[in-house]
Structure 1
Amino acid sequence: MNCALAEELRSAWSARSLVWVLTRREVAARHAGTAAGIAWPYLQPLLTVAAYYLVFDVVFGMRLGEHAPTRAVGAFLIVGALPWMAFCDAVQRGMTSLIDAGGLLHKNPLPPVLFTARAVLASALIYGPLLLLVALVYLPAHGLRLAAVALVPLLLLQLLLSLVLAYVLAILAAALRDVVQLVGFLLSVGIYLSPILFPLSLFPENWRWVLWLNPMTGFVQGYQHVLLQGAWPPLAVWTASLAWIAVLALALNVLVDRSRDQLVDWL
């Protein structure tokens, strides 16, 4: 198997200045015509997580069981829900990036990966600061611990996972538009197949393997260990996350190689 993926990555790196320009335009397009301006893309997820805290912790005062990472339901939901929203936004926008750029790709021989990278990086510019803001709110409860350093590789690996998965789906969606509807449905139910709405300990032990079929389960577990417990994520978190990235990278390499001469025609 030739290294088609490596060629794509080299193309993206060579055109990194163009990617940055495209990314800034993508972010600007998301708030164009809104009264709140640049604040609007950040306000939407912030208001969502604020609602979790207000409803579950302030109004109802709901509490989790003894074995949960934290007793406050709202505080627990925020740690998993915000990374999940970042993942969904990057994957959904990245998945349709090639279809949206079809006209441009027909006229210009640009590497298709640039447009998927644009969509994923635009999501990162919006959700990355929000995730760091949440970290600044949670980490003081545990003091200055080494575990906080784990947030850096977790965020970078989540960005890489989102990019690789989005590009895989973008190529598949170019070939078959049904992929967009199918993935949209899977993302809508995926939150229920991850330890976001409930601790992993509450899921039946014999069926916990199902949760690991969700590529975000490892990352959510990692964020929960760092932000809710002040602990370094266990080996299972890193193993599952890297395994997902490796499998998707292999799949992407095959797809890029086989679709190279047909991709623009599909669009």
Structure 2
Amino acid sequence: MSKLIIDANRSNFSINFKELFAYRDLFFILAYRDLRVRYAQTFLGVLWAVIQPLFTLIIFTIVFGKAIGVSKDIPDNIPYTLYAACGMSAWTYFAFVMNQAGNSIIGAQGMIQKIYFPRLIIPLSKAIVGFVDFGVSFLFILVLMLWHGVIPSGNILFLPFYIFMTILTALAVGIWLSALTIRYRDFQQIVPFMVQFGLYATPIAYPTTLFNEDYRWLFYLNPMTGVVEGFRWSLLGTDPPNPYSWISFGLTVGLFISALYYFRRVERVMADIV
């Protein structure tokens, strides 16, 4: 039997990756449990991963594509539905992980109060669950590409990088929210608003080129802006990501590091205040 030593004097920022690896079975069990619960007793099952973004895509096509005429500004004559679907795929994964990870600690309070394990496993497991929806939505994009006769560009080699940045961004925000929600339960009400606001603040239904270049950099204060543009570039061969994308990526790294630091601080008293 291995000996477990809990050091109260350990640095707030230190992350014991060896300990996280030792609890990998619990990590996968939590992810598997969430998958089963999510799709248990549902008639359509994983098809909901397509239905929900599909209706949003229809609204975007009617409002932005037809009524406002954004489709005229889409580069390289790419069909508007395909253009918006690529953005929706990345955003849907981000929104799911952010929402689920943000409320994950509150939902596991019974387990947290009874046994010890690295609490970081709980929000991290949500990234695995979100991959099911992401995979289904990605297949939907491939179907649209076949339908419109669009061939993936050679930039697809960079797609794994943007998938990684999507995961990192979702976990950065999700870990922050999971720690903040413990102390301030108001964040349970704020998260749905953040998802709705972020959907329109992120250039999913429109390109950033619609806006004056002097103010365009403001969009890249949203970490998901660089990711969404990178998704389109790697899949559809649109214009290369704006150099401002590095602002988004830098913010993502900063958010992730600070999220780990704050989570470690709260973890010490988590069982007492959850």
**Shared fold, TM over 0.5:** yes
Q: Which whole-Å CA distance do the structure 1 matches of 2:27 and 2:162 have between them?
A: 23
TM-score if structure 2 supplies the norm length? Answer: 0.82
User: Which sections of structure 1, spanning at least 5 residues, go unmatched?
Assistant: none
2:182/2:273 contact within 8 Å kept:
yes
Alignment of 1:23-42 (within 5 A): 23-36=31-44, 38-42=45-49
Q: Which whole-Å CA distance do the structure 2 matches of 1:187 and 1:39 have between them?
A: 21
One-letter amino acid of the structure 2 residue matched with residue 77 of structure 1: A
Residue number in structure 2 paired with 1:163 = 171
2:226/2:241 contact within 8 Å kept:
no
One-letter amino acid of the structure 2 residue matched with residue 122 of structure 1: V
TM-score if structure 1 supplies the norm length? Answer: 0.84
Q: Deviations over 1:62-99 (max 9, x none)?
A: 66235645453322221212211211111001100000
Residue number in structure 2 paired with 1:174 = 182
1:57/1:74 contact within 8 Å kept:
no
Q: Which residue of 154, 157, 160 corresponds with 1:146?
A: 154
Count of residues in correspondence between the two structures: 264
Q: 1:56 to 1:259 in 2, by over 3 A?
A: closer
Q: Which whole-Å CA distance do the structure 1 matches of 2:77 and 2:101 have between them?
A: 34
Q: Which whole-Å CA distance do the structure 2 matches of 1:244 and 1:19 have between them?
A: 27
Q: 1:153 to 1:69 in 2, by over 3 A?
A: same
Per the TM alignment, residue 234 of structure 1 is displaced from its structure 2 partner at its CA by 5.5
Q: 1:46 to 1:211 in 2, by over 3 A?
A: closer
Percent same amino acid at aligned positions?
21
Matched, 1:188 2:212: no
One-letter amino acid of the structure 2 residue matched with residue 155 of structure 1: I
Per the TM alignment, residue 27 of structure 1 is displaced from its structure 2 partner at its CA by 1.0
Matched, 1:95 2:102: yes
Q: 1:141 to 1:16 in 2, by over 3 A?
A: farther
Residue number in structure 1 paired with 2:125 = 118
Q: Which whole-Å CA distance do the structure 1 matches of 2:201 and 2:32 have between them?
A: 33
- Quick check: 13-22 or 152-161, which moved more? 13-22
2:221/2:248 contact within 8 Å kept:
no
1:69/1:224 contact within 8 Å kept:
no
Per the TM alignment, residue 192 of structure 1 is displaced from its structure 2 partner at its CA by 2.0
Q: Which whole-Å CA distance do the structure 1 matches of 2:55 and 2:23 have between them?
A: 36
Please, what is the CA RMSD of the aligned residues? Answer: 3.1
Q: Which residue of 247, 252, 258 corresponds with 2:259?
A: 252
2:169/2:252 contact within 8 Å kept:
yes
Q: Which whole-Å CA distance do the structure 1 matches of 2:13 and 2:265 have between them?
A: 9
Q: Which residue of 1, 9, 19 corresponds with 1:11?
A: 19
Alignment of 1:32-111 (within 5 A): 32-36=40-44, 38-45=45-52, 47-48=54-55, 51=58, 64-66=71-73, 68=75, 70=77, 72-111=79-118
Q: Which whole-Å CA distance do the structure 2 matches of 1:226 and 1:39 have between them?
A: 26
Q: Which residue of 229, 237, 247 corresponds with 1:229?
A: 237
Q: 1:154 to 1:178 in 2, by over 3 A?
A: same
Q: 1:153 to 1:103 in 2, by over 3 A?
A: same
Q: Deviations over 1:162-186 (max 9, x none)?
A: 1222111100111101122223212
3-state SS of paired residue (2:268): coil
3-state SS of paired residue (1:86): helix
Q: Which whole-Å CA distance do the structure 1 matches of 2:153 and 2:263 have between them?
A: 42
